[in-house]
Copies of this chain bind each other. A is one copy, B any other.
Amino acid sequence: MKKTFKRILYGGDYNPNQWPREVWNEDIRLFRKAGINSATINVFSWAKIQPSENEYYFDELDEIIEMLSRENYDIVLATSTAALPAWMFKKYPEVARTDFDGHHHKFGQRHNACPNSPIYQKFAGRLAEKLAERYGSNEHVTCWHVNNEYGGECFCENCEKAFRVWLKDKYKTIEALNQAWNLEFWGHTVYDWDEIVLPNALSEGIDYERTAFAGMSIDYRRFNSDSMLNNFKMERDAIRSFDPHTPITTNLMGTYKNLDYFKWAKEMDIVSWDSYPAYDTPWSMVAMRHDLMRGLKGQPFMLMEQTPSQQNWQPYNSLKKPGQMRAQSYQTMAHGADTIQFFQLRRSAGACEKFHGAVIEHAGTENTRVFREVSRLGEELKTLGDRLLGAENPAQVGILFDWDNYWSLEYTSGPNKDLKYVDQIHQYYRYFYEKNIPVDMIPADADFSKYKAVIAPVLYMMKDGMQQALEDYVKNGGTLVTGFMSGIVDQSDNVHLGGYPGPLRELAGIWVEEIDALAPEQSNTLRFTDGTEGVCRLLCDIIHLEGAVSIADYTSNFYAASPAVTKNSFGQGTVYYVGTQLEQNALGKVLNLVMASADVKPVIDETTKLEITCRTISNQCYYFIINLTGETLSIPHIFTGKEDILTGNVLTSQTTFAPYDVALVCEEKK
Contact = CB atoms under 8 A, between A and B. Distances in A.
A56 interface: no
A105 B205 CA distance: 11
Nearest to A206: B109
Interface string A211-244: 1111100000000000000000000000000000
A517 interface: yes
A369 B313 contact: no
A325 to B, nearest CB: 13
B321 A498 contact: no
Interface stretch (A266-274, A345-353, A545-553): A345-353
A186 B44 contact: yes
B103 A202 contact: yes
Interface in A324-376: 347-356, 361-365, 368-370
A519 B316 contact: yes
Contacts of A313: 413-414
Given A492-B350, A495-B362, A48 B189 contact: yes
A120 interface: no
Contact of A214 (B215, B351, B511): B351
Nearest to A310: B415
A384 interface: no
A495 B416 contact: no
A514 interface: yes
Copies in the assembly, this chain: 3
A312 to B, nearest CB: 3
B197 A108 contact: yes
Nearest to A412: B355
A518 interface: yes
A465 interface: no
A63 interface: no
Contacts of A15: 184-185
Contacts of A52: 191
Interface in A102-117: 102-110
Residue in A46, A86, A322, A416 whose Cβ sees the most chain B Cβ within 10 Å: A86
A86 B314 CA distance: 43
Interface in A278-332: 279-280, 309-319, 321-322
Contact of A203 (B107, B214, B310, B369): B107
A181 interface: yes
A355 B500 CA distance: 12
B202 A83 contact: no
Interface string A477-520: 00000000000010011110111100000000001011111111
A520 B86 CA distance: 39
Interface in A60-107: 80, 83-87, 89-90, 101-107
A415 B513 contact: no
Contacts of A497: 349, 362-364
A86 B190 contact: yes
A347 B194 CA distance: 30
Contacts of A354: 413, 494-495
A125 interface: no
A311 B412 CA distance: 12
A15 B44 CA distance: 55
B318 A518 contact: yes
B363 A184 contact: no
Given A187-B48, A202-B103, A309 B514 contact: yes
A361 B542 CA distance: 14
Contacts of A394: none
A86 B189 contact: yes
Contact of A518 (B86, B316, B365, B558): B316
Q: Give the interface centre of A101, A189, A192 by most chain B CB atoms within 10 Å.
A: A189
Contacts of A363: 497-500, 511, 513
A319 B414 contact: no
A60 to B, nearest CB: 10
A109 B204 contact: yes
Nearest to A101: B103
Interface in A529-587: 558
A442 to B, nearest CB: 28
21 contacts: A44-B186, A47-B190, A48-B187, A83-B187, A85-B189, A89-B197, A107-B203, A108-B204, A181-B350, A182-B349, A211-B352, A315-B519, A316-B415, A316-B517, A316-B518, A316-B519, A319-B514, A349-B497, A350-B494, A362-B500, A363-B497
Interface pairs A-B: 8 shortest CB-CB:
A108-B203, A182-B350, A312-B414, A355-B414, A185-B351, A350-B494, A363-B499, A86-B195
Given A102-B103, A109-B212, 16 more contacts: A46-B187, A47-B189, A106-B202, A108-B205, A109-B204, A185-B352, A279-B519, A312-B414, A316-B519, A319-B516, A319-B517, A350-B493, A362-B497, A362-B499, A363-B497, A370-B514
